[in-house]
Amino acid sequence: NAGVMQNPRHLVRRRGQEARLRCSPMKGHSHVYWYRQLPEEGLKFMVYLQKENIIDESGMPKERFSAEFPKEGPSILRIQQVVRGDSAAYFCASSRTDDIQYFGAGTRLSVL
């Protein structure tokens, strides 16, 4: 049973470009979460999704950030018009219900 798969592992973008981060949850998991980690800090919650629904987006910046978890395919975290402050590691987690969240290896975004 493969774990949570995130791609790409590393992503480099120039200011103003778009970043698309993908996450495939563990088999049988219908809950997906996105977190952001700045250097030397803990993870900060961004958004919680179930299939085709955003359940909690209280941690998402109001502008430029969006997330989806379509009926088919991976969850996508999309950052439009990236700025240097968006540079961070973005982690996806999945769970079966309201229990243990299993994390992917993360996508490290660097904005030049």
Partner 1 sequence: SQQGEEDPQALSIQEGENATMNCSYKTSINNLQWYRQNSGRGLVHLILIRSNEREKHSGRLRVTLDTSKKSSSLLITASRAADTASYFCATDAMGAQKLVFGQGTRLTINP
- Contact residues for partner 1 (CB under 8 A)? 31, 33, 35, 41-45, 48, 55-56, 58-59, 91, 93, 95, 98-106
Residues in a beta bridge with 109: 11, 88
Nearer to partner 1, 14 or 100 (CB): 100
| Least CB distance to partner 1 at residue 96 (A) | 12
Q: How far is CA 100 from CA 36, 63, 76, 78, 96, in A?
A: 18, 30, 21, 25, 8
- Distance, CA of 64 to CA of 111 (rounded, Å): 14
Nearer to partner 1, 14 or 98 (CB): 98
Nearer to partner 1, 69 or 91 (CB): 91
| Least CB distance to partner 1 at residue 63 (A) | 21
Nearer to partner 1, 59 or 74 (CB): 59
- Distance, CA of 109 to CA of 76 (rounded, Å): 14
Q: Cα 47 to chain center, whole Å?
A: 8
| Least CB distance to partner 1 at residue 64 (A) | 21
